[in-house]
Amino acid sequence: MAHQVTLERPWQGLEKLARMGALAVAEALEGVPRSQWPGIPFLLCVAEKERVGRIECLDQALLPAIESVLETRFASTSRVLPGGRIGVVAALRLAREALASGDGARVLIGASDSLLSWATLEHYDRCGRLLSRGNSNGFLPGEGASALLVANAGGREQGLVCTGMGFGQEDANVDSDEPLRADGLAHAIREALIDGGAEMHHMDFRITDNAGEHYYFKESALALSRTLRILKDEFDLWHPAECMGEAGAAAGFAAIVAAKLSCEKRYAKGPNILVHLGNDSGARAAVLLQSRERG
């Protein structure tokens, strides 16, 4: 079983990633004149380099392939970020630096990824990590693409604002025999809170890339116990993967989109949201989001 994106033709491999990415980019840039697209930097997040079954020359080929489908070119400062699930936070950090330096008024960040190649599925199946009738401690593989157009918050009175970011490294990763203490995730969360001038109890709910494996839910619980100093009556943990499967680099974007939609449609638990993400290699990232409404 898997979550597969259905397109008008049965494209595979790089071509499918390009087609999915182009659809997401076109939607994100809806309302922006095509004549302005070449002036917008595009930070494209893709699978981490250590992913088994990763497409050869992905870093060099995917961005030009998306541009070809869209029949456009993006700014010369565009680049590919092979960060996997934490890629969206790395892209947000680079976008913040670019916007602060005055390098354009907007930055496009996006991702296109798939875990549905045979080599990738065979690896995860051999490791006992796929969800099946005989294995409840696993995930459903998926694929997807997403894109976000970001700009300086400035004095804006409404919108979803990124207020803090943090990164960490977990030595006791999912494949390790070391005891899990959530050091890396706790560090990423603390760094994001410091960056955003907030405390953990200020957050109203959490969104994560957890896709069903017990390891990552245990890590979330441990990280919470190490960062929350004032008890909260409830502190929801949302995981979009239950609807779309494990989508690699697109997973972090799905978490941010879920936050945005929940605030716009007014079913969010509050305006302050913590998103935390992690790769199998141990890389961890956290980002604070705040929904601002016109008073």
Specify the long-range contacts of residues 170-174, CB closer than 8 Å, at least 24 apart. 170/219, 170/278, 170/282, 170/283, 170/284, 171/282, 172/282, 173/280, 173/281, 173/282, 174/213, 174/215, 174/216, 174/280
pTM over cut 0.85: yes
pLDDT at 156 (0 to 100): 66
Average pLDDT over residues 180-202: 98
pLDDT at 153 (0 to 100): 84
- Contact at 8 Å (CB) between 41 and 75? yes
pLDDT at 138 (0 to 100): 96
Average pLDDT over residues 13-23: 98
| Rounded CA separation 223/237 (Å) | 12
Average pLDDT over residues 78-102: 96
* Listed residue (114, 16, 18, 109) closest to 66, CA to CA: 18
Q: What is the pLDDT of residues 238-271, one digit of tens each?
A: 999 999 999 999 999 999 999 999 999 999 999 9
Q: Which amino acid is at 247?
A: A
Chain-wide mean pLDDT for the chain? 95
Average pLDDT over residues 145-172: 91
Average pLDDT over residues 15-34: 97
Average pLDDT over residues 30-38: 96
Under the banding of pLDDT at 50, 70 and 90, the label for residue 293 is confident
pLDDT at 294 (0 to 100): 61
pLDDT at 225 (0 to 100): 97
Question: Would you state the structure tokens that stand for residue 192, as one six-digit string?
Answer: 């994001």
pLDDT at 1 (0 to 100): 77
Average pLDDT over residues 261-288: 97
For residue 155, pLDDT beyond 70: no
pLDDT at 158 (0 to 100): 80
Strand order in the sheet with 283-292: 159-169, 283-292, 272-278, 205-208, 237-238
Average pLDDT over residues 206-221: 97
Under the banding of pLDDT at 50, 70 and 90, the label for residue 39 is very high
| Rounded CA separation 201/182 (Å) | 18
Which domains does the chain possess? Answer: 13-151 (3.40.47.10), 159-292 (3.40.47.10)
Average pLDDT over residues 54-61: 96
Q: What is the pLDDT of residues 96-153, one digit of tens each?
A: 999 998 878 999 999 999 999 999 999 999 999 999 999 999 999 999 999 999 999 8
